[in-house]
Structure 1
Amino acid sequence: MTTIAISGERLSLDALRPVYRGPVKVELTQQALENVRRGHQVILDAIGRGDVVYGVNTGFGKLADRRISPGDLAELQRRSVLSHMVGVGDPLPDEIVRAILVVKLIGLARGHSGVRTEITEMLAALINADVLPVVPAQGSVGASGDLAPLAHLAGALIGEGRVRINGVTYTAAEGLAKAGITPVVLGPKEAVALLNGVQASTAIALRGLFGAEAVFNAGLAAGALTLEATAGRQVVLDDRIQQIRGHDGQIRVAGALRRLVEDSPVLGIEFEGRRLQDPYCLRCQPQVMGAALDLLAFAARTIEQEINAVSDNPLMFPDDGAVLSGGNFHGQPIAYAADIIAMAICEIGSISERRQAMLMDSSMSGLAPFLVENAGLNSGFIMAQVTSAALVAENRAKATPCSVDSIPTSAGQEDHVSMATHASLRLGPMVRNAAYIVAIELLCAAQGLDLRNEGRAAPANRPTYGLVRANADFLEDDRIMAGEMEAIAAEVLDGVFVDISGVPLGAVN
């Protein structure tokens, strides 16, 4: 089992990949614990001086001007958690809740949140025992962070709400007892430190980014196989063309495609009727997929910054002994990142579907109509492409930006919100749709290559062809293809094509 050391220093996106695959262990270093102690001392000093500090001895949101008596400070923390546990809808998947816990712990370990070490140690205990709060997916507008989702997470720490252990749901009190973990009583500032922040939308967006990376690389592999199946012109991949435009993503995509089709037994042979110029779905792969890669690289940088950020309020600065209130909890950076991930996913599927349509059209592909002999009696891949078209249309609707929306809350105090959680949540279904679209192209491209030259692919394309044929035989006559599409889509989502196409997001500067 992977152990993630949390020290208050920066972690990479790759360090969080195991969190989405299954249970992990976390280790709080002495530096992290010292950071937390120093931040907590700032709160203790402020209370000792009688300072008025938001969320410590005041109400929340529009009620920030209401002073809370010293005897009610602990009760304020408890009630603030309970009042914010208003999430609705289906629970977030376990892997996302696990990621939220880890990202929240990373932020607290920076030492600017004012919590006690006991809070960070309990979060670590939940992660290490894989005791996962039940967090409803709906109810956050990404304003003061993800208040409702994080409240359900915080509720588990005090024995309220529900938790899941090994897929079984318990009341939080029962689940903590089963794991040998004692609920905590929250102290000053600790409720707001747990409730404020964009850890939920960040964890959801990161899963969407990893999924986009998987379908992006599968889309490259499918496009390379289609280039061979249709005897396309590989001159469009020449590095000189890419360099004089200068976009990093375009240069990298063209390089990956050149490698995949190098030494192709098809592409170097001229024949009568071969097109001088291919349609854009082939010719402009570097430009379209490269632009998508640039978007994903930007989103990756934003999300990596956010997983290492402190995004609650107010914030402690131990070096100065200062308590400062600001707006780090606003989710706009993640909302924008999620929106551009959605745009990239949409286009990966869109250009893939156009390549499928080209493969179907014998006048464009030079292959049998709908990629099957005896067309008429056989329908071949005609309906598979219809499924792709339906999924592309669905993703286009889902790609509508969420970040430009806002609705005031909290009696106008929170008058501009980010919708970051909405933006992030739709990425999962979009990734799945795109995986199906690319899986259908992979089936079509392998069939096309079989029809053109009995499946002899370029050396670097052979793993792609072999993977398809391990899940689906050549289509002689019509058969049910739904199961084959599911099997190949599962391979796409597992990320196997990241190694084949060789364009991991972690390699983008």
Structure 2
Amino acid sequence: LSHLALVLIGEGEACYRGTKMSGAQAMSKAGISAVTLEAKEGLALNNGTQVMAAIAALSLISAENLCKQADVLAAMSIDALLGTPNAMNPLVHALRPHPGQLISAKNINSLLKNSPLRDSHKNCANVQDAYSLRCTPQAHGAARDALAYARKVLEIEINSATDNPLIFPEEKQVISGGNFHGEPLAIAMDTMAIAISELANISERRMEQMLNPALSRGLPAFLAHRPGLDSGYMIIQLTAASLISENKVLTHPASVDSIPTSANQEDHVSMGSVSAIKLLQVVENVSTVLAIEWMIAAQAIDIREIKSSAALELAKARLREFSPRLAKDRVMYPELHKSVAAIKECAVLKAVEQSGIKIY
């Protein structure tokens, strides 16, 4: 906040069109006059939760979009693995009606509806799938509910006065309070990080189900065209595992810590800025893990040689615009980068909604 304020008054440093220069030069080149501060404005610019609130708001939007796309990718994986529809039955979820769980179950059911691949094994003897398939609504739903809590916190926060002291002209009072304390945001951001990290955790387990021939119900090892000669998607799963391991460190709550400063006047702080920075990285990591599941699920469906639902075929077709079916080993990081970028742009969501299905 202080560095932003310095530039506003023509001091400090800033970047203009990629070049770092003095704040005065940057303001001049941008055609903006330096601000002359009046009473209390300097303190207000330095003191508050604006930075962490801004990061939290951007992260929340990304996280909500990741939840929606995670449902789509889970549906692709379930179909690729010949998953039983029983666990998605609305009767099951009505008996434990957590809002997020109900939404995720509804999304997955609508995505799998009229899938020829699903219909191809209706009479199989399979009774139940691994947890990473049949418990998807419960896991994804819990993440959704955590984000709903964070949204409520943020909607209050960004419409609040968080500087100090606060001036009440009508009451003729100047009150030193504590609205600058970031605890509400810190706890909300730590909760968001934990919640969306679970999207990645369960996603990677679905990958394992598709890549492991002992679990995949007939798919070749690592979805390779020539198992034993080609590595298939073996190595890209390692990328997912690495990012998930990193998330296990990043999701340790910063808000459980504090350190006193200012001669013990500021003896308890939220550490919310640390929560914010960690959350940004968790969002990035989860985006990458989901992009990997997209690539693996598409390969698995193609190998089945039976079409999935119209909606999921659209999601697969969107991926195939830059990531063709794997016929032999190739360098995969360029298409992974494109897949991650597409996830960030909600490409999976936009693709399936072209079929007329609305993902909530």
Report the counterpart of residue 43 of structure 1 in structure 2: none
| Mapping 1:314-393, distance limit 5 Å | 314-366=165-217, 367-393=219-245
Q: Deviations over 1:52-102 (max 9, x none)?
A: xxxxxxxxxxxxxxxxxxxxxxxxxxxxxxxxxxxxxxxxxxxxxxxxxxx
* Equivalent position SS for 1:426: helix
Residue of 260, 265, 276 corresponding to 1:408: 260
Rg larger in structure: 1
Report the counterpart of residue 426 of structure 1 in structure 2: 278
Report the counterpart of residue 128 of structure 2 in structure 1: 277
Q: Distance in 2 between matches of 1:274 and 1:348?
A: 29
Change in 2 beyond 3 A, CA 1:306/1:250? same
* Equivalent position SS for 2:116: coil
Question: Contact 1:217–1:497 (CA<8 Å) still a contact in 2?
Answer: no
Identity %: 39
Change in 2 beyond 3 A, CA 1:408/1:357? same
Q: Distance in 1 between matches of 2:115 and 2:339?
A: 24
Change in 2 beyond 3 A, CA 1:419/1:453? same
Q: Deviations over 1:295-354 (max 9, x none)?
A: 111111211211111100111223323222210000001101110110112101000000
Question: Contact 1:457–1:465 (CA<8 Å) still a contact in 2?
Answer: no
Q: Deviations over 1:180-214 (max 9, x none)?
A: 33323333212111111100011112222222223
* Equivalent position SS for 2:104: helix
Residue of 218, 225, 250 corresponding to 1:398: 250
Residue of 493, 496, 502 corresponding to 2:347: 496
Report the counterpart of residue 22 of structure 2 in structure 1: 171
- Number of matched residues? 354
Question: Contact 1:164–1:170 (CA<8 Å) still a contact in 2?
Answer: yes
Report the counterpart of residue 247 of structure 1 in structure 2: 98
Question: Contact 1:262–1:460 (CA<8 Å) still a contact in 2?
Answer: no
Question: Contact 1:314–1:326 (CA<8 Å) still a contact in 2?
Answer: yes
Report the counterpart of residue 470 of structure 1 in structure 2: 321
Question: Contact 2:318–2:348 (CA<8 Å) still a contact in 1?
Answer: no
- AA of the residue aligned to 2:144: L
In the alignment, does 2:64 pair up with 1:213? yes
In the alignment, does 2:32 pair up with 1:181? yes
Question: Contact 1:302–1:334 (CA<8 Å) still a contact in 2?
Answer: yes
Q: Distance in 2 between matches of 1:465 and 1:180?
A: 47
Question: Contact 2:82–2:121 (CA<8 Å) still a contact in 1?
Answer: no
Show structure 1 runs of 5+ residues with no match: 1-149, 505-509
Q: Deviations over 1:216-242 (max 9, x none)?
A: 222211111011101101221121211
Question: Contact 1:239–1:254 (CA<8 Å) still a contact in 2?
Answer: yes
Question: Contact 1:214–1:494 (CA<8 Å) still a contact in 2?
Answer: no
Report the counterpart of residue 480 of structure 1 in structure 2: 331
1:271 CA drift (Å): 6.8
- AA of the residue aligned to 2:245: A
1:481 CA drift (Å): 1.4
Question: Contact 1:214–1:496 (CA<8 Å) still a contact in 2?
Answer: no
Q: Distance in 2 between matches of 1:418 and 1:180?
A: 38
Q: Distance in 2 between matches of 1:159 and 1:484?
A: 44
* Equivalent position SS for 1:170: strand
Change in 2 beyond 3 A, CA 1:503/1:327? farther
Q: Deviations over 1:225-269 (max 9, x none)?
A: 011101101221121211110100000011111111111112233
Q: Deviations over 1:95-138 (max 9, x none)?
A: xxxxxxxxxxxxxxxxxxxxxxxxxxxxxxxxxxxxxxxxxxxx
Change in 2 beyond 3 A, CA 1:271/1:254? closer
Q: Distance in 2 between matches of 1:209 and 1:271?
A: 39
**What's the TM-score once normalised by structure 2's chain length?**
0.94
Change in 2 beyond 3 A, CA 1:271/1:183? closer
**What's the TM-score once normalised by structure 1's chain length?**
0.67
| Mapping 1:22-171, distance limit 5 Å | 150-171=1-22
* Equivalent position SS for 2:255: coil
Change in 2 beyond 3 A, CA 1:270/1:182? closer
Residue of 190, 195, 199 corresponding to 2:41: 190
Change in 2 beyond 3 A, CA 1:187/1:379? same
Question: Contact 1:211–1:428 (CA<8 Å) still a contact in 2?
Answer: no
1:440 CA drift (Å): 1.1
- AA of the residue aligned to 2:32: I
